[in-house]
Structure 1
Amino acid sequence: MDFLARRDEHVLEQMDRPDCDPARLANTYRQFRLVNAVVSGWRRTWVSRIRPVLSTSRTTTLLDVGSGAGDIPRAFARWAARDGLALQVTAIDPDERADAYLRSLPPVPGLTHRRAHTADLVAEGARYDVVTSNHLLHHLDAAQLGGLLADSEALAGRLALHSDIARTRLGYPLFSVATLPFRDSFIREDGLTSIRRSYRPAELRAVVPDGWRVETQTPFRNLLVHRA
């Protein structure tokens, strides 16, 4: 698989196209919850990184960036409520289609969402205890990545966590086979494209500024960490 030897930052995911099929996009949003539950590793990161900074008495604020279908921030709000922890989650995404999908879902206590960029929040002087994102880094070009990390430093009072796919020769065929049952959506096609666009740990370390640490997680993941 020589095509995985180098990150392909020019290939475009179908759901990033403004004219992509809306029915397949809606199915993709619906299927994200199942896929992310298996591959994203956020439950483990929640237990080890986020839950320890939360409190039962003081409300902690969390910003989730590029929330897409919203399954990750919705899970954060549910997990906090189940653990009796005071957490207020804000989910943002600049895509009007993602925003419309989120607005179509039943509300979750402790979660709000808005259509916005991180730069909008920085301009407003907003601050959050924790900033997170899932599967966002590989979508960004170099300038956008630098902007996201600078904004995250400005917005996160305690901790920023950006979790993403790590490109591997094993992960590509495993994902290809595992997602064969997902029909009428972009899950399989865009997931394989995402792997081609994603960083290996050393590649990510080479482009992030000082103060950010790249950690590896299983299966096939990078976790970008910044502590204020």
Structure 2
Amino acid sequence: MLRNNLLPRADVLLRSDPSLRHRSVNEPELMDDPACDPVALDNTYRLFGVINPLVASWWPVYRRYVRPALRAAAREGRPGTVLDIGCGGGDVARALTRWAARDGLDVRITGIDPDERATRWAAAHDRGAGITYRAVASGDLVARGERFDAVVSNHVLHHLTDSELTGLLADSQRLTHGVAVHNDLRRSRAAWLVYWVATLPLVRARTFARFDGLLSIRRSYAPAELRRRVTAEWRVERQAFFRVLAVHRAHAEPGRTS
């Protein structure tokens, strides 16, 4: 059984900055370690399918941003295309596939992740969704001239250094002729405490979901911080349930909202 021995450190870190005014930028998440426990990693990917629907709220994002892009493709008489960057276990990509099918929209979804462990797991648990998984980075697709109607990511931005964030946003603009939406956590003490309580049953579970989730909240951006890091082509939107979006429309006037 995996014991999350690092969890007390997370509590200490909260006490050292109780308002979470500052991002945690130098603490690696456990599942990012190439030598991490493979069983715990498998369990973590599996739990994403339970946790993400509760904390990531993708349905409104799909309805507002992804579905219009797919409908535009349908009006042109072709399948819509979606790229999920940093797809992890593929749960977001599978949800988008289900919703598009329910709306009668033909969609081709590609999930990419530079970690082959993620793409292997996602492909093995695709459940007939027909998603294409590739162990590549967004820059590789830019170099190949690939384009998509929608580019999305879930809880990726907070993992990146400043230069990596700049690169991802630039790649996203080049990869879409429709819309790009990066959905991430919004750092707050309330979010940390809610997740701490909600994941108490996982304290002794063989998974990284509890520790890495708490750390992810500490590493995530406040809206004002993210606005300072994006270019004028991107709009940063504060969302309910402790979330923030970075949105780029390929044919829209640049601007930002709160």
Matches within 5 A, 1:1-228: 1=14, 2=17, 4-55=20-71, 56=74, 57-182=77-202, 183-228=205-250
- TM-score, normalised to structure 1's length? 0.96
Larger radius of gyration: 2
Map Cα deviations across residues 139-193 of structure 1 (whole Å, 9 max, x no partner): 0001110110010010011100000001001111110000112321111100010
Answer whether contact 1:89 1:112 (CA < 8 A) is retained: yes
Structure 1: runs of 5+ lacking an equivalent: none
- TM-score, normalised to structure 2's length? 0.85
Q: Give the CA deviation at 1:110.
A: 4.4
SS in 2 for 1:108: coil
> What code does the residue aligned with 2:146 have?
A
> What code does the residue aligned with 1:90 have?
T
In the aligned structure 2, how far is the partner of 1:186 from the partner of 1:144?
24
Q: Give the CA deviation at 1:209.
A: 1.2
SS in 1 for 2:114: coil
SS in 1 for 2:201: coil
Answer whether contact 2:235 2:246 (CA < 8 A) is retained: yes
Quick check: 145-154 or 1-10, which moved more?
A: 1-10
Answer whether contact 2:94 2:129 (CA < 8 A) is retained: no
> What code does the residue aligned with 2:88 have?
G
In the aligned structure 1, how far is the partner of 2:193 from the partner of 2:41?
23
> What code does the residue aligned with 1:34 have?
V
In the aligned structure 2, how far is the partner of 1:197 from the partner of 1:175?
14
Aligned length: 228
Map Cα deviations across residues 30-63 of structure 1 (whole Å, 9 max, x no partner): 0001100101010111112211222354311110
Quick check: 132-141 or 210-219, which moved more?
A: 210-219
SS in 2 for 1:7: coil
In the aligned structure 1, how far is the partner of 2:106 from the partner of 2:31?
34
In the aligned structure 2, how far is the partner of 1:206 from the partner of 1:180?
35
Answer whether contact 2:23 2:221 (CA < 8 A) is retained: yes
Answer whether contact 1:77 1:108 (CA < 8 A) is retained: no
In the aligned structure 1, how far is the partner of 2:180 from the partner of 2:85?
11
Q: Give the CA deviation at 1:84.
A: 0.8
Structure 2: runs of 5+ lacking an equivalent: 1-13, 251-258
